[in-house]
């Protein structure tokens, strides 16, 4: 049952997003050197943090899948990584816009977060092709879990390495999250909360949809056992095991 | 009422662009979910009819089939 | 487990010695790539960070060739099934294959690095010991991650495509640290030593991925 607290969660998400955006535009002071453009920070950085946590969460679900053999953990891992990847696209797009606004170039190599994200995105973009190229569903789930765990371990290492590569040549140019004055810090934390809630809500939403699909399939099998499964397009995406 | 306090400084189009990217991604997701929902509805209606059919055959002797 | 590892390793090395496939191909590829770089960069000699970059890109891409071939024979000729039937710890396959890949990489570099010095490098390398050390550490990382990715990709239909796509991003930290580390060694008058953080980071990477691969490899072999 994935849809249990979905309504309350969605309401909480909506409230926190509106609050976060309001704080960003009406409460947080304008940044001294970057001006209005710095407001993108309240969107870009929370998305980045949540996406990274999403990838690591996907790795943890994968560990659970390998340990218990329960396919539902694999679906949780798949959805987590899928959502984090979409957030990752958002991170790259908003980061690029920020770079253009602050520095005039659509891409900068000096910002370690953005560069790490590019690498991670390129890596996780292989997740779905890998899954879809293995036909046996159980093997597919196992291999995908190995991939998720390996890449989950890779995420922090990648950050360290890219940070090191930049550390002594260029200072962090697009603003640091370290020493924020009070109002900015509050706005940032609320934005972070909002983004986290959004991710969890969308994850639950997607899991519920997959459960509905699985239940429908199971119902169809019970009512029409001789019929070929689900007429029409069969997606290659993994689905919850139905009873 | 807030408009009096807000001045739109330079580069605001970039900030707007960034937030629009976020909104766009979210709405694309809503659209995909809408598509899935209509598919589920269609299938559920079909299965309901199927169940009626079978309920008609096994349950009531007088029934000839679904309407 | 050590005996099983040694047995598989001996088989790998013997196969490679009998009908050399991977190592000559990788070595030849490296030398050809140096020639390509000469024409692409339009330079007769390079030094410093450019030299470092050319060297590491070539070594990485050559490694991709070796990784792609690592499990092909097992997959096509039932080597996996044979191994699974034996009552041995499955991780020994990982250790054996990774060691074999490491051996291939070292063999290739014994040829490729002098070729590089001959063909493209301007200044003569100042601290050969440090260079060898960095190469060894990086090779270890490449071997570990390469074996893992090779085993991962071998079961899919698109294995030749997946190996570089997955392995290259995973190896970028190694590339970053190795390239930064060898830059002062390939510079004229680069007398200052390699900064400690580069080999340390590669060592950390090797450790983390060694542990991950050790923990996870079993699941790749289940039937």
Residue A97 forms part of a structural domain: yes
Residue A114 forms part of a structural domain: yes
Residue A32 forms part of a structural domain: no
- CB contacts of C198 in chain A (<8 Å) are 164
| Residue B57 vs residues B48, B53, C39: alpha-carbon distances, Å | 14, 6, 80
Residue A230 forms part of a structural domain: no
> Which chains contact C through at least 3 pairs of Cβ atoms less than 8 Å apart?
A
Residue A147 forms part of a structural domain: yes
DSSP lists the bridge partners of residue A35 as A31
| Residue C131 vs residues C109, C176, C182, C199, C201: alpha-carbon distances, Å | 11, 15, 7, 11, 16
ipTM of the complex, rounded to two decimals: 0.84
User: In tens digits, what is the pLDDT along chain C, a chain of 223 residues?
Assistant: 778 888 888 888 888 888 788 888 899 999 999 999 999 998 888 888 888 999 999 999 999 988 988 888 777 777 777 777 777 778 888 898 899 999 999 999 999 999 998 888 877 777 788 889 899 999 999 999 999 999 888 888 777 888 899 999 999 999 988 998 888 888 776 656 677 888 888 999 999 999 999 999 888 887 6
Under an 8 Å CB criterion, which residues of B touch A?
Answer: 2, 5-6, 9-12, 14-15, 17-19, 21-22, 25-26, 29, 33, 36, 40, 43-44, 47, 50-51, 54
Helix (H, G, I), strand (E, B) or coil at C46: strand
Measured in whole angstroms, the distance separating CA B51 from the mean position of its chain's CA atoms is 25
| Of A130, A150, A157, Cβ closest to residue C156 | A130
Q: Whole-angstrom Cα distance, residue B18 to residue C201?
A: 35
Q: Measured on CA atoms in the order A199, A205, A210, A215, is the torsion positive or negative?
A: positive
Q: How many domains does chain A have?
A: 1
Residue A238 forms part of a structural domain: no
The b-or-e profile of C25-58 (16+ CB within 10 A means b, else e) is bbbebbbebbeebbeeeeeeebbbebbbbbbbeb
Q: Whole-angstrom Cα distance, residue C210 to residue C187?
A: 32
Mutation target vs A (from B10, B18, B29, B31; most A CBs, 10 A cutoff):
B18
End-to-end CA distance of chain B: 60
User: In tens digits, what is the pLDDT along chain B, a chain of 67 residues?
Assistant: 444 445 556 667 888 888 888 999 999 999 999 999 999 999 889 888 888 888 776 655 444 544 4
Residue A192 forms part of a structural domain: yes
Q: Could you list the residue range(s) of the whole structural domain that residue A154 is in?
A: 41-222
């Amino acid at each position: 049952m994935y849809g249990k607290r979905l309504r309350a969660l969605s309401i909480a998400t909506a409230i926190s997003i509106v609050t976060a955006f309001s704080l960003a535009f009406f409460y947080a002071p304008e940044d001294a050197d970057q001006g209005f453009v710095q407001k993108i920070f309240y969107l870009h950085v929370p998305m980045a943090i949540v996406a990274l946590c999403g990838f690591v969460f996907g790795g943890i679900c994968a560990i659970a899948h390998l340990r218990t053999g329960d396919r539902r953990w694999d679906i949780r891992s798949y959805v987590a990584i899928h959502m984090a990847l979409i957030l990752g696209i958002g991170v790259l797009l908003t980061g690029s816009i920020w770079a253009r606004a602050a520095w005039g170039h659509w891409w900068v190599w000096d910002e370690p977060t953005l560069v790490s994200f590019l690498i991670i995105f390129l890596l996780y973009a292989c997740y779905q092709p890998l899954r879809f190229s293995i036909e046996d569903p159980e093997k597919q789930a196992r291999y995908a879990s190995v991939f998720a765990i390996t890449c989950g371990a890779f995420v922090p290492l990648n950050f360290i390495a890219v940070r090191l590569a930049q550390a002594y040549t260029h200072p962090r140019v697009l603003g640091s999250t370290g020493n924020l004055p009070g109002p900015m810090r509050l706005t940032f934390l609320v934005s972070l909360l909002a983004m986290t809630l959004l991710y969890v809500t969308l994850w639950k939403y997607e899991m519920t949809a997959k459960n509905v699909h699985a239940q429908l399939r199971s119902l169809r099998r019970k009512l029409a056992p001789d019929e070929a499964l689900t007429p029409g397009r069969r997606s290659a995406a993994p689905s919850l095991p139905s009873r | 009422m807030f408009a009096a306090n807000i001045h739109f400084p330079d580069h605001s189009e970039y900030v707007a662009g960034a937030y629009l990217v976020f909104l766009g991604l979210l709405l694309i997701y809503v659209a995909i979910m809408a598509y899935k929902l209509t598919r589920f509805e269609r299938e559920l209606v079909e299965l309901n009819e199927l169940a009626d059919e079978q309920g008609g055959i096994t349950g009531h002797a007088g029934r000839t089939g679904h309407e | 487990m050590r005996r099983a590892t040694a047995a598989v390793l001996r088989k790998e090395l013997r196969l490679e010695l009998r009908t050399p496939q991977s190592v000559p191909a990788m070595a030849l590829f490296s030398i050809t790539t140096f020639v390509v770089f000469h024409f692409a960069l339009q330079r007769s000699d390079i030094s410093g960070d450019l030299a470092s970059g050319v060297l590491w890109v070539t070594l990485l891409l050559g490694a991709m060739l070796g990784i792609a071939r690592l499990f092909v024979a097992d997959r096509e000729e039932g080597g996996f099934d044979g191994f699974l039937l034996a009552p041995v710890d499955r991780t020994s396959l990982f250790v054996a294959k990774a060691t074999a890949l490491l051996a291939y990489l070292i063999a290739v570099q014994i040829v490729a690095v002098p070729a590089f010095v001959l063909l493209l490098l301007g200044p003569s390398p100042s601290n050969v010991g440090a260079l060898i050390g960095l190469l060894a550490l990086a090779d270890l990382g490449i071997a570990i991650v390469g074996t893992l990715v090779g085993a991962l990709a071998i079961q899919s239909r698109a294995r030749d495509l997946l190996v570089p796509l997955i392995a290259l991003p995973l190896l970028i930290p190694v590339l970053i640290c190795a390239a930064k580390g060898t830059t002062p060694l390939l510079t004229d008058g680069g007398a200052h030593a390699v900064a400690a953080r580069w080999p340390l980071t590669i060592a950390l990477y090797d450790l983390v991925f060694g542990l991950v691969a050790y923990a996870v490899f079993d699941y790749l072999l289940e039937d």
